Chain A
Amino acid sequence: MIRLPIPVRAVLLAAVLALGSLAAPAPALAVNPDEMLPDPALEARARDISKHLRCLVCQNQSIDDSDAGLAKDLRVLVRERIKAGDSNDEVIAFIVDRYGDYVLLNPPVKKSTIVLWAGPGIVAILGLLALFLFFRKRRGMTIASAQAPLSAEERARLAKILDGDEK
């Protein structure tokens, strides 16, 4: 092994450390290592489920993001249900039975949420309709004025232009 001079080694070391810090930005995880399941596949499912469940204490974070005590309890519960053999839907149903649809960050389409889901579409359609009517009316006006026969005054002026009298 070639021994590099110390300044060169220092520079190399600094470069390696800098690259390393670029490659692995450490995300601030709410999930503690002691909560995690040993099986990576099951843990991935737990993470996926947790990302869709609202933390009821902080409300705009998922339980996967939140440091609240209840969020931790729910994360542990999700993992317990997975270990007990529940499917993802069963785990979510278990939590929804206790806390209602409110825990779902993605609200289900049902009678009470139809306005929420259909509202933006309906507003967009109304807006397009209004635009369509507006432009049709304006175009109708332009065409109408373009098709109207020339008045006597206009004809006289046109004749002048054609004769080259008016510049």
Chain B
Amino acid sequence: MYLLPLVLFAVLAVYFAVGLTKDPKIIPSALIDKPAPTFDLPTIPGRKGDGFSTADLKKGQVSVVNVFASWCVPCRAEHPYINKLAEMGIVPVYGLNYKDTPDAALNWLSNLGDNYTAVGADISGRVGIDWGVYGVPETFIVDGKGRIRYKQTGPIVGDMLETKILPLIRAIQGGSQ
């Protein structure tokens, strides 16, 4: 009986300790294993290349969708890794340019590099809402049938590409094609 308060304390301490390791800013996506939203966006006005639509994601291959904006500071840190992923050529990497002004976006891409397979300009941010975007950068892995399989909230930097994103892409490529 004298041990009861100690046991209660230990249970609560473990519970709160686990709670502290979680980042409350990361909200689980409601769209995992659901089909990607329906949209058809033109590319950024003035950019050479294709726009981006749902049809691109249903071509039978795993693809990556990167939500970015020129006003987003972490996107700048992330962009070299996105370029690197696109250069590897293992998946098409689509860009969703979220709530940006075309001039700023074009300028940003010409400075930092544009390796995207296609870019959709979501100037109003409405397509972003359909994707459940709440804080750029966000990156989605979509399987060959156009279903969202994974969402990364926040920038892919450091070794995350190698340790997290590439293994996930390979697993999805191996599993669902």
Residues of A within 8 A of B (CB): 56-57, 59, 69-70, 73-74, 77, 96-102
Which residues of chain A are within 8 angstroms of B124 by Cβ–Cβ distance? Answer: 73
Cross-chain pairs A/B with CB under 8 angstroms, 27 sampled: A56-B27, A56-B134, A56-B135, A57-B134, A57-B135, A59-B25, A69-B99, A70-B129, A70-B134, A73-B124, A73-B125, A73-B126, A73-B129, A74-B129, A77-B126, A77-B129, A97-B30, A98-B30, A98-B31, A98-B129, A98-B132, A99-B30, A100-B28, A100-B30, A100-B132, A101-B30, A102-B27
Min Cβ gap A60→B in Å is 10
Q: Which residue of B lies closest to A97 (CB)?
A: B30
- Whether the pair B135, A96 counts as a contact (CB closer than 8 A) is no
Main secondary structure of the interface of B (DSSP, over half): loop
Kindly state the separation between the CA atoms of A59 and B24 in the bound complex, as whole angstroms. Answer: 9
Find chain A residues with CB under 8 A from B162 CB. Answer: none
Which one of B25, B99, B130, B135 contacts A98 once the chains associate, using CB atoms below 8 Å? B130
Number of residues on chain B facing chain A (CB within 8 A): 17
A-B contacts, CB under 8 A, total: 40
Q: Is B54 an interface residue (CB 8 A)?
A: no
Min distance, Cβ A94 to any Cβ of chain B, angstroms: 10
Q: Residue on B with the closest CB to A77?
A: B129
